[in-house]
Chains A and B, each alone.
Chain A
Amino acid sequence: AQSVAQPEDQVNVAEGNPLTVKCTYSVSGNPYLFWYVQYPNRGLQFLLKYITGDNLVKGSYGFEAEFNKSQTSFHLKKPSALVSDSALYFCAVRPPYNFNKFYFGSGTKLNVKP
């Protein structure tokens, strides 16, 4: 079965420290990979995507993600967290064989403390 896993419901990090939000997937082929962020009572905002090319992709607000094909992972990272980064983060995968399917992880709540 196709799936996306975000193993951590919550990640706590101190402001200024690096952060990582984990994502692994089980989708055959070479899927498109995405990260979205959601603030309270808002829709999802696109952060970054991986389609092909360099395994390290850079996105909005200083975030980046590393694609690892052998581990089928796409972890979100930021070198120095800000309090304003506190939000809900979703990993998503679009399989190459069905463009109308979009699999979301369960979300990870990021808490950045001053």
Chain B
Amino acid sequence: GAVVSQHPSWVICKSGTSVKIECRSLDFQATTMFWYRQFPKQSLMLMATSNEGSKATYEQGVEKDKFLINHASLTLSTLTVTSAHPEDSSFYICSATTWGRPGSDTGELFFGEGSRLTVL
């Protein structure tokens, strides 16, 4: 299957600083990428959907200015947690699809390995 790389896997930062998480599709061009947040022992919470070259679509309740998403190319999307606080500590997961590209849509989402953010 297609490979999605997410970096960093773990990050610890001080309160008030910003943290950037990268999500790359290594062997395919991702028309759409999704960012999820997962709390302990809970399901995935979709934060936003990003399409290459356009602004991300945020889910209700997700602060756009807090969680900056950029999808500058077909292989890279970034999530920046700005002015991080302890309540932002969580497991963040990206995923990518090839939907919309004729001949390459296999249907499923491909997930990164996740990034564990701890804000002190």
Is chain B a partner of chain A in the same complex? Answer: yes
**Residues of A with Cβ closer than 8 Å to B?**
32, 34, 36, 41-46, 49, 51, 90, 92, 94, 99-100, 102, 104-107, 109
Cα A109 to Cα B41 with chains together (Å): 9
Cα A90 to Cα B42 with chains together (Å): 11
The answer, yes or no, to whether B22 is at the interface (CB within 8 Å) is no
> Does A94 contact B6, Cβ atoms closer than 8 Å?
no
Closest chain A residue, CB of each to CB of B4? A43
> Does A36 contact B49, Cβ atoms closer than 8 Å?
no
Task: List B residues 24-57 near A (Cβ within 8 Å).
Answer: 32, 34, 41-44, 46, 49
> Does A43 contact B113, Cβ atoms closer than 8 Å?
yes
> Does A49 contact B108, Cβ atoms closer than 8 Å?
yes
The answer, yes or no, to whether B103 is at the interface (CB within 8 Å) is no
With A99-B99, A107-B43: A43-B49 Cβ-Cβ less than 8 Å = no
**Residues of B with Cβ closer than 8 Å to A?**
1, 4, 6, 32, 34, 41-44, 46, 49, 91, 93, 95, 97, 99-100, 105, 107-114, 116
Cα A112 to Cα B6 with chains together (Å): 29
> Which residues of chain A are near B108, meaning CB under 8 Å?
32, 34, 46, 49
> Which residues of chain B are near A46, meaning CB under 8 Å?
1, 108-111
Contact partner of B100 (CB less than 8 A), chosen from A32, A99, A105, A107, is A99
> Which residues of chain B are near A104, meaning CB under 8 Å?
43-44
Which 4 residue pairs of A and B lie closest in terms of their CB atoms, listed nearest first? A43-B111, A44-B111, A99-B99, A43-B113
> Which residues of chain B are near A106, meaning CB under 8 Å?
42-43
> Which residues of chain A are near B43, meaning CB under 8 Å?
90, 104-107
Cα A27 to Cα B34 with chains together (Å): 20
> Which residues of chain A are near B110, meaning CB under 8 Å?
46
Cα A109 to Cα B42 with chains together (Å): 10
Please list 23 pairs of residues, one from A and one from B, whose beta carbons are closer than 8 Å in the complex, sorted by A's number. Answer: A34-B109, A36-B111, A41-B91, A43-B4, A43-B93, A43-B95, A44-B95, A44-B109, A44-B111, A46-B1, A49-B107, A51-B107, A90-B43, A90-B44, A92-B109, A99-B100, A100-B49, A100-B99, A102-B46, A104-B43, A107-B42, A107-B43, A109-B41
